[in-house]
Structures are given as structure tokens and as C-alpha cells.
Structure 1
Amino acid sequence: MNRFFTLMLGALIALSSCAAPTDARQSDAGAESTGETASPAKAPSGLDLVPLTITSNGKTHEFTVEVARTSREQARGLMFRTELAPDAGMIFPFDRVRPASFWMKDTPTSLDIIFVRADGTIESIAANTTPYSLESVQSGEPVAGVLEILAGRSAELGISPGDRVSWTESWDPAKRRGQ
């Protein structure tokens, strides 16, 4: 009888080592080792979550941001969100370089709206926007996208126009289409 249990235990251990990963980190590690691209993490909103950095005065500030790619996702943005972590935000990559205009309608959380050129540099920052405001917040020139972070974070971290924003994709719409 003991021999039967020993064989069964051995079989169970062998089978369990062949099971599929049960956690996203294990799954991503497997994808990296085989050269496959891991699926991006998802926010509760269903949008992709990606790492983003802002380089300012030799310092790198790291964020995890949601990507609003479609016109529908961009129209909704951070509306109705009552909380935003200090290292979180949302990026709005455009399909072409263009003047940008945002408002805070239905947005209860004050934001810093950062306008980004195709080369990844910050064109301007609309700091501490007014929640629920219908006033238009505009870029000073055509931009490739916009980054929204918690109000006051730009000043707190010393982020200013000319600093560099980078993420997993290019800010340049032409390069993004080619990826």
C-alpha cells in the first residue's frame, strides 16, 4: 500500500510541475524567455497600463499610465475618477501631430495636463486644472499627445517644458504607425 501512495505522490508532483502559470509574473517571464511579447497589464477601466518616465534635470520620475488610444477612450479620459495615485496617469497619443484642447467636464480630480511634442519633449503644462470646468485648456503648438497626472505633481517633481517624456511607444505618430 505504501508503494502505491509513493507512486501516486510522484505522479502528482510531476503533473503539477507541468501546469500552466497561475500568476501574471510567471506568464510574462515565460514569454520573455521564449522571445514572445507579453500582453500589457490592464487597468480596471480596461485600458492598457504601461510604464512611462519623465526625465527632468537629470532625474527620472516613473509613472504607470493608462493608454487612451481610440477617440472614444480619449473623449472619456479621466472623467468620473475621484482618485488618482501620485505615480499614475493617462496618456492620449494622437494619430497625427495637431493642436490639442482639453476640458475638465465631469472630471472631479484636479490634474496637470502635459502637452508632448513628437520628439517626446514637453511643450507646455496646464497645472492644477479646475475640476468640472468647461474652460478649454490648449497646447501652445501642435503636439503628438497629452499626458494627464495628478495636479501639483509637475511642480512637486520639478517637471517643466523641455523635459522628456518616454513610454513603450514613440510619441511620433508616423513612427507609432510603423511599429
Structure 2
Amino acid sequence: MLFLRSRLSSLAIAVMSVVFIATASSHLCAQQLVQVQQFDPLTIVTVNGERHVFKVEKADTDEKRQRGLMFRKELPSDQGMIFDFGDPIPVAMWMKNTYIPLDMIFIRKDGSIARIAENTEPLSTRVIDSGEPVLSVLELAGGVTSKLGIKAGDRVEYPIFKKTQ
């Protein structure tokens, strides 16, 4: 009986150690994820003068632009991702490996919205194009633009956009 107890105690300690290590690891990974995701404020100003502020992640490298919001299971309605292409170019995007519907906002160099692709279809390989050269694409949770009344012609305030007089 003593042998069985000490063996059970050793087993219990081993199990508790694994649980502790797994918990600490997942906590550390969550902390690292929070540190990796850096958000900047971005404002959309409608033609009616309404201002909508979002927290956005920057996709400003080839690697970040290629991954985008793939594999995410959720996106809060006040967050998004902005793709900075550096110079205005025709843009074509798709939803492969993207599990949530998105609103894709195609933005000109001056910050004006060229077009919006609303509620894009998750996991689709259908090409969604900008329709004209754009400097940037802003991805928000699907349905947000309609809910907030954001339309083509509205303006985006963010450091990459040059203001016109």
C-alpha cells in the first residue's frame, strides 16, 4: 500500500507539473501574441461628418500582406487590418483560409474610399479586385461598413494617406 501511495503521489506530482507547464506555456504564448499584435488608431469620416475610430494592425510587409487575417476565428467590430502597398497599384485579394466574412475597403492615395466589397465569402478563392489603383485596403469585420453607413467617397484618416487641399 505504501508503494502504491508513493507511486500515486509521484504520478500526481508529474501530472500537476505537466498542467502547470502547459498553463504557463499557453499564458506566455498569449502574452507574446498580445505583444506581437500592435494596433494603431484609424478613423473613417463619412460624408455626413460621422467619425468612426478603429484599432488596426498594419500589414506592411510581403509576409504580413500574404497572411492578412487568414486563420482568425473572430474579429471585433472595432478592429481591422490595413494593407499598405507603398504606392498605388491595382489590387486583387481573396478569402482563401479566411474563416470570417470581411468588408474590404479599397482606399486611394488621398485617403478617399474607392470601393467596398461587403461581407466577402469566407474560404472563397474568388478574386476581389480594387477596380482602380489603390494605396491601401482596410479589412473590417463583415457587415460593419453597412451598419455604420460607410460608403465609397468617405475618407480615411491614417498617416499613410496624403491630405489634398
> Do they fold alike, i.e. is TM over 0.5?
yes
Check if 1:64 corresponds to 2:55: yes
Aligned residue among 41, 49, 63 for 2:39: 49
Hey, what does 2:119 align to over in structure 1? 128
Q: Which amino acid aligns with 1:103?
A: W
Aligned length: 131
**Contact 1:111/1:129 (8 A) holds in 2:** yes
CA-to-partner distance for each residue in 1:69-98, whole Å, 9 max, x for gaps? 101100000000001001000000112110
Gaps of 5+ in 1: 1-41
Gaps of 5+ in 2: 1-31
1:117 and 1:102 map into 2 onto residues whose CA distance is: 16
Hey, what does 2:89 align to over in structure 1? 98
Q: Which amino acid aligns with 1:171?
A: F
Hey, what does 2:67 align to over in structure 1? 76
* Residue 45 (structure 1) shift: 7.6
* Residue 171 (structure 1) shift: 2.5
Aligned residue among 137, 141, 152 for 2:132: 141
RMSD: 1.7
* Residue 48 (structure 1) shift: 3.0
Structure 1: which 4+ aligned runs deviate by more than 4 Å?
none
CA-to-partner distance for each residue in 1:18-40, whole Å, 9 max, x for gaps? xxxxxxxxxxxxxxxxxxxxxxx
CA-to-partner distance for each residue in 1:149-176, whole Å, 9 max, x for gaps? 0000000000000000112x2235xx9x
Q: TM-score, normalised by structure 1?
A: 0.70
CA-to-partner distance for each residue in 1:53-73, whole Å, 9 max, x for gaps? 000121000100100110110
CA-to-partner distance for each residue in 1:117-156, whole Å, 9 max, x for gaps? 0000000000000000000000110000000000000000
2:148 and 2:95 map into 1 onto residues whose CA distance is: 23
Check if 1:118 corresponds to 2:109: yes
1:50 and 1:154 map into 2 onto residues whose CA distance is: 19
- Identity in percent: 47
Q: Which amino acid aligns with 1:151?
A: G
Hey, what does 1:37 align to over in structure 2? none
2:43 and 2:33 map into 1 onto residues whose CA distance is: 18
Q: TM-score, normalised by structure 2?
A: 0.76
